[in-house]
Structure 1
């Protein structure tokens, strides 16, 4: 068995010179053989040293990730919130009322989720391909936006539903607003959104608020029915910003 020899510093190391990260901490006896399966501490250290020699002292990324920048930018850079005419902005008192009413709805839903025995008998268990936009649009058209319908969806479909609804309102013509049924659907899915928010959910909610702000920016503040037209847009912007705490999007 080779005689063990451990030296804290190399023989030619100056005692007054500060330690260097590249200076070896241990010296291995020259009689130690390199083995595939070390059986002693020195054999193990020798194997580690030899494996380390196969790697550069400084490792840097040698891949070009610029081609992924376009895909990643949508999660980093956000468009500025569309400007709004003062006549279209909701008051703080109005927003507080909306948040309070929404909180009551959320509390009722949380109690239902905690005790499924209280669920309505009309609960529908809905299963379909979440990536099929035609199926989603058909679902929104033939079903009513009731709680019994939304509760029948799997959790994984809730975020996707809000994402699809945001795409649907993207088709709203300038000067128009969200139709009543679509607004009901959005409110229903917001009421069932889980907390704490996942990063994907936060992104979807922020996109919804920004899209509502964009639609609102094209409304005529002097129109006869402007209060009815702007109400759903203000509600969704208010809930995303004040209830779900995306305060930078608040009016």
Structure 2
């Protein structure tokens, strides 16, 4: 005897080679199919009927090989330059930097949660994010938390990008100047988490750029140990605080 019940089916997997359909919901036979369902059963019946128009297994019939090749430029990264042994920081030193940075981040987080605690000189930056000259003029000033606190993600990312471009001007054998280092630290302290994909890419670019600058220091020169400190700090923070562990020393 044929059942008059209508069913909505669910998929069950008995094994890797067999897929069975078993009843999930029963729908009364007197439920009519309507273009605009007004009850739960009418809606389920409409979904069931629409489902009959599709095959159980859908396969992609497009060739994405060219697309994948074009995308390689977005995931390919330059190799991270490793430090000479005498310029490489110890894990103990790195742990101290991460702990100190965590304290700064906690302070910034408290300020962001309670604006009444903000310094009196905090003001919104009226800056075109694409105006590189304006950014560089800003970075000529002495860095203050009041310049960075409250900037949204896009502005923080853009500021870091400009700072990385400034690092392109560091001559082989030289290092980050103190003011630029302070600005970078301030932007890192205010960078929001969880990280957006764009932010992660920028942070990784910062660590690789610092590694590149460090690789041009003369390991035989005693002054190189001091010159490597700011570079080591930023590589450490990106790799160990922001969890880009493959870039860690």
TM class by shorter chain equals 0.7 to 0.9
| Alignment-derived partner of residue 235 in structure 2 | 237
Q: What secondary structure is seen at the aligned counterpart in 1 of 2:126?
A: coil
1:216 aligns with 2:208: no
Unaligned runs of 5+ in 2: 6-17, 21-34, 37-44
Structure 1 residue 135: deviation in Å?
A: 2.3
Closer/same/farther in 2, CA of residues 20 and 242 from structure 1, 3 Å limit: closer
Aligned residues: 232
Alignment of 1:59-78 (within 5 A): 72-78=71-77
Pair 129,177 (structure 1): closer, same or farther in 2 beyond 3 Å: same
CA contact (8 A) 1:145 1:185 kept: yes
Moved over 4 A (4+): 54-71
Q: CA RMSD in A?
A: 3.8
Offset of residue 206 of structure 1: 1.1
Shift of 1:74: 3.6
* SS of 1:93 mapped into structure 2: helix
Partner of 1:227: 225
Query: Where do 1:39-58 residues align within 5 Å?
Result: none
Deviation of 1:79 after TM superposition, in Å, equals 2.2
Change (3 A) 1:221 1:116: same
Matched, 1:120 2:119: yes
User: 1:137: Cα distance to partner?
Assistant: 1.5
Distance 2:113 2:56 in 1: 56
Map 1:75-94 onto structure 2 (within 5 A). 75-94=74-93
Q: Trace 1:1-251 onto structure 2 (pairs within 5 A).
A: 72-141=71-140, 143-251=141-249
Find the counterpart in structure 1 of residue 13 from structure 2: none
For structure 1, which runs of at least 5 residues remain unmatched after alignment? Answer: 7-18, 22-35, 38-44
**How far did residue 156 of structure 1 move?**
2.2
Contact 2:111 2:118 in 1 (8 A): yes
| Alpha-carbon distance in 2 for matches of 1:127, 1:78 | 33
Instruction: Tell me, yes or no, if the aligned pair for 1:126 and 1:152 is still in contact at 8 Å.
Output: no
Task: State the TM-score, normalizing by the size of structure 2.
Answer: 0.73
Cα distance in 1 for residues equivalent to 2:195 and 2:19: 47
**TM-score, normalising length from structure 1?**
0.73
Residue 70 (structure 1) shift: 6.6
Check 1:152–1:199 CA distance in 2 against 1; reply closer, same or farther (3 A cut).
closer
1:170 Cα deviation (Å)?
A: 2.0
1:208 and 1:244 mapped to 2: Cα distance?
Answer: 12
- How far did residue 140 of structure 1 move? 1.4
Task: For 1:178 and 1:240, locate their aligned partners in 2 and report how far apart those are by CA, in whole Å.
Answer: 16
| 1:87-124 CA-partner distances (Å, limit 9, x unpaired) | 00001111111111111111111111111001111112
Whether contact under 8 Å (2:86, 2:225) holds in the other structure is no
